[in-house]
């Protein structure tokens, strides 16, 4: 009968049966819980200086255009989600946007193949089906800002007393400069 996107809540699952030569466009809106296993605290090492896992504040929205080329899948599209970010200058938590465009080709490998060598750049296929949710989770982390700023002119923290210089000038140790 033709390709169908399985109606599975919280996932991007596809069947390779009767995949159309012209490819597939998949618009998606996934609740934050769909990425929870890729954002959970188990990804962060205990005792490390890593920030706590991000909190997504909206659904993940986007689309993928998928083209099957032999046992490779060309994925082109975009995604975006709002999340709580921490400013790298003043440490204030603020609402920001994480998202990106993607234009990548990944290998479709039978489940278990390649997993032992931790090779990235593949999507696992099981019983003729594959799930792009882990791929989307990886895209999320690749698009996470290295240095998020609450605003472009963020003044940061005073290096002496730690006061947030966005809120008021610092008056520590006789210094009255706003850095």
Cα gap 40→55, rounded to integer Å: 10
Q: Sign of torsion, CA 63 68 71 72?
A: negative
Specify the pLDDT at position 99. 93
- What's the 3-state SS for the chain? CCCCECCCCCCCEEECCCCCCCCEEEEEEECHHHHHHHHCHHHCCCCCCCCCCCEECCCEEEEEEEEEECCEEEEEEEEEEEEEEECCCCCCEEEEEEEEEEEEEEEEEECCCCCCCCCCCEEEEECCEEECHHHHHHHHHHHCCCCCCCCCCCCCECCCCCCECCCCCCCHHHCCCCC
Specify the pLDDT at position 74. 95
What is the Cα Rg of the chain in Å? 21
10-residue mean pLDDT profile of the chain (179 residues): values are 40 83 90 81 54 81 93 94 93 93 91 56 85 89 89 93 90 57
Specify the pLDDT at position 154. 95
C-beta separation of 55 from 83 below 8 A: yes
Domain residue spans in the chain?
13-148, 153-179
Specify the pLDDT at position 129. 86
């Amino acid at each position: 009968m033709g390709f169908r996107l399985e109606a599975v809540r919280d996932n991007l699952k596809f069947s390779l049966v009767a995949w159309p030569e012209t490819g597939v466009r998949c618009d998606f809106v996934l609740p934050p819980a769909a990425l929870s296993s890729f954002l959970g605290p188990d990804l962060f090492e205990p005792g490390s200086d890593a920030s706590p896992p991000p909190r997504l504040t909206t659904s993940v929205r986007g689309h993928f255009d998928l083209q099957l080329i032999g046992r490779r899948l060309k994925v082109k599209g975009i995604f975006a989600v709002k999340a709580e970010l921490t400013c790298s200058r003043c440490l204030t938590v603020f609402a920001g946007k994480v998202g990106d465009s993607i234009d990548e080709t990944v290998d479709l490998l039978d489940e278990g193949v390649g997993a032992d060598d931790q090779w990235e750049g593949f999507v696992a296929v099981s019983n003729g089906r594959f799930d792009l949710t882990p791929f989307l989770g990886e895209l999320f982390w690749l698009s996470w800002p290295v240095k998020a700023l609450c605003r472009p002119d963020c003044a940061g923290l005073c290096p002496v007393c730690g006061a947030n210089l966005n809120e008021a000038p610092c008056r520590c140790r006789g210094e009255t400069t706003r850095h």
